[in-house]
């Protein structure tokens, strides 16, 4: 399986917690950027791909007609009959733009909802209200999107497990088929790293996660990855390919790719990317040891786990209640998921 990722590093305004590479106020660069992405795509031989993902940043900050033209051009080189996702922020779409995107060929939309409580959205300095986010989901559904994902954030200062369940319940009553839930992390270089808001204690944060999981499972969502839940059949194919260490072509400033055993990373500087002929800033040929580590680091995030390969640390972690056998596979237990990084480190030392 191979995916195609296109990074669109633009946002209406930067959120104070976010370290994703994106800039605001760069509208004048949109046409040149899209042209450069198309040029970069020509460095790769034409081939069918299984999934396409327009991520960001906020791809929907670009005019929908520009996204439509970019997708059409990429599809000529990389035909795709599978999942084609666009990420969207509720403050940057309208019923009309969603219709253009759906008709352009995007068949999945991932919407940054974050919360359905206005005071939480205000704390996160989001540019939309809970009502706007809910309306965007309905508008996407009316535009013909049957595969709608929503991002939720939890572990906010002062938040309770009931608050998290409230947003999850509200979301599940909307036409959403997939939910990604992230615990707020304070990232270096962001305004939140300077302000250091007081985060909940670890135990309280875990209670929020359990509450979220209970609520989503109660609505028929299945957890298939540490942070991801889906109605059966709506698991994200593009992201699952990452967790299975599959290949993907990455285009755009700050994009990553993995093709022919080489991981590469494009320059994060927008203007340098636009004027470059070779955007790749870093290339790593993965050794067998790297691949082995990645298989654990990424694959164990999946609920189905990874095939047991005789790793001698496994029996000890099973005895500690952190791993369990699941058919031919080993997987994290619920307790193991809480300290996944520790368990994975123990497996690859
Ligand atoms: C590229 S954005 C999604 C689309 C769009 N830009 C938006 O925000 O609406 C990726 C997601 O990562 C999550 N995220 C970003 N920074 C985070 C942080 N510091 N802690 C937890 N989640 C974070 C948010 O849920 C966000 O929706
Ligand atoms: S969370 Fe989304 S909208 Fe906010 S800065 Fe990050 S990418 Fe942009």
The secondary structure element, H or E, covering residue 8 is: strand 2-8
Report phi then psi at 343, rounded to 5: -60, -45
Residue whose CA lies nearest to ligand 1 atom number 10: 112
Handedness of CA 37, 38, 39, 45 (dihedral sign): positive
CA of residue 12 to ligand 2 center, whole Å: 8
Helix/strand/coil for 319: helix
Give the Å distance between the CA of 180 and the centre of ligand 1: 10
pLDDT of residue 349: 81
Q: Is 167 helix (H, G, I), strand (E, B) or coil?
A: helix
The position carrying tokens 């994009």 is 255
What region does 57 belong to: left with phi over 0, alpha with psi -120 to 50, or beta? Answer: left
> Whose CA is closest to 37, among 8, 58, 65, 76?
8
Given a cut of 50, the residues of the chain with pLDDT beneath it are none
Strand, coil or helix: 77: helix
Tell the residue number behind the tokens 């005789």, with chain if given: 310
Q: Which of 21, 140, 153 to mutate to test the pocket of ligand 1 (most atoms within 8 A of CB)?
A: 153
Answer for the pair 56, 85: CB distance below 8 angstroms, yes or no.
no
Q: Tens digits of per-residue pLDDT, 105-144? A: 999 999 999 999 999 999 999 999 999 999 999 999 999 9
Percent of the chain's residues with pLDDT above 90: 100
Return the residue matching tokens 């939890």: 154
Give 2-241's CATH code, choosing from 3.40.640.10, 2.150.10.10, 3.20.20.70, 3.40.718.10: 3.20.20.70
Residues 6+ apart with CB under 8 A from 337: 226
Report whether 266 contacts 250 (CB < 8 A): yes
The CA-to-CA distance between both ends of the chain, in Å, stands at 29
* Alpha carbon distance 124, 336 (integer Å): 29
Domain ranges of the chain: 2-241, 288-349
Query: DSSP labels for 178-211?
Result: EEEEEE----TTSHHHHH---PPPHHHHHHHHHH
Phi, psi of 106 (to 5 degrees): -70, 125
Q: Which residues line ligand 1 (CB under 6 A)?
A: 17-18, 20, 55-56, 58, 87, 89, 112, 114, 151, 153, 182, 184-185, 187
Instruction: Evaluate whether 59 touches 108 at the Cβ level (below 8 Å).
Output: no
Q: What are the structure tokens assigned to 221, written together?
A: 């969502």
- Whole-angstrom Cα distance, residue 108 to residue 318? 38
* CA 332/CA 109 separation, integer angstroms: 29
Residue 223, pLDDT score? 97
Q: Which two tokens stand for residue 248?
A: 């993907």
Q: How far is CA 337 from CA 123, 206, 226, 348, in A?
A: 28, 10, 7, 16
Q: Is the distance from the beta carbon of residue 11 to the nearest atom of ligand 2 less than 6 Å? A: yes
pLDDT tens-digit profile of 259-268?
Answer: 999 999 999 9
Q: What is the pLDDT of residue 201?
A: 97
- Dihedral pair phi/psi, residue 238, rounded to 5°: -65, -50
Residue nearest to atom 4 of ligand 2 (CA): 15
- Ligand 2 contact via 250 beta carbon (within 6 Å): no
Closest-CA residue, ligand 2 atom 2, reads: 57
């Amino acid at each position: 399986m191979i995916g195609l990722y296109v990074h669109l590093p633009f946002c209406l305004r930067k959120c104070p917690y976010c370290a994703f590479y994106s800039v605001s106020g760069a509208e004048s660069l949109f046409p040149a950027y899209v042209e450069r992405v198309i040029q970069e795509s020509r460095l790769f031989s034409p081939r069918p791909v299984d999934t396409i993902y327009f991520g960001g940043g906020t791809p929907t900050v670009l005019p929908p007609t520009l996204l439509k033209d970019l997708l059409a051009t990429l599809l000529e080189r990389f035909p795709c009959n599978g999942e084609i996702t666009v990420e969207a922020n509720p403050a940057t779409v309208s019923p009309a733009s969603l219709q253009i995107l759906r008709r352009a060929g995007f068949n999945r939309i991932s919407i940054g909802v974050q919360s359905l409580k206005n005071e939480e959205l205000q704390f996160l300095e989001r540019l939309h209200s809970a009502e706007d986010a809910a309306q965007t989901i309905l508008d996407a559904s009316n535009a013909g999107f049957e595969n709608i994902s929503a991002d939720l954030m939890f572990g906010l200062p002062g938040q309770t497990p009931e608050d998290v369940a409230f947003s999850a319940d509200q979301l599940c009553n909307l036409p959403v088929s997939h939910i990604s839930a992230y615990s707020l992390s304070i990232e270096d270089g962001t305004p939140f790293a300077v302000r250091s808001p007081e985060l909940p204690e670890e135990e309280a944060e875990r209670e929020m996660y359990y509450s979220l999981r209970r609520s989503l499972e109660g609505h028929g969502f299945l957890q298939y990855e540490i942070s991801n839940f889906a109605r059966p059949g709506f698991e994200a194919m593009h992201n699952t390919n990452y967790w299975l260490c599959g290949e993907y072509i990455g285009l755009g400033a700050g994009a990553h790719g993995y093709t022919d055993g080489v991981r590469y990373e494009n320059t994060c500087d927008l203007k340098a990317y636009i004027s470059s002929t070779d955007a790749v800033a870093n290339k790593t040929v993965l050794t067998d040891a790297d691949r082995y580590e990645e298989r654990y680091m990424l694959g164990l995030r999946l609920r189905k786990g990874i095939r047991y390969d005789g790793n001698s640390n496994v029996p000890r972690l099973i005895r500690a209640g952190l791993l369990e056998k699941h058919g031919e596979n080993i997987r994290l237990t619920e307790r193991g998921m809480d300290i996944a990084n520790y368990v994975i480190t123990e497996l690859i030392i």
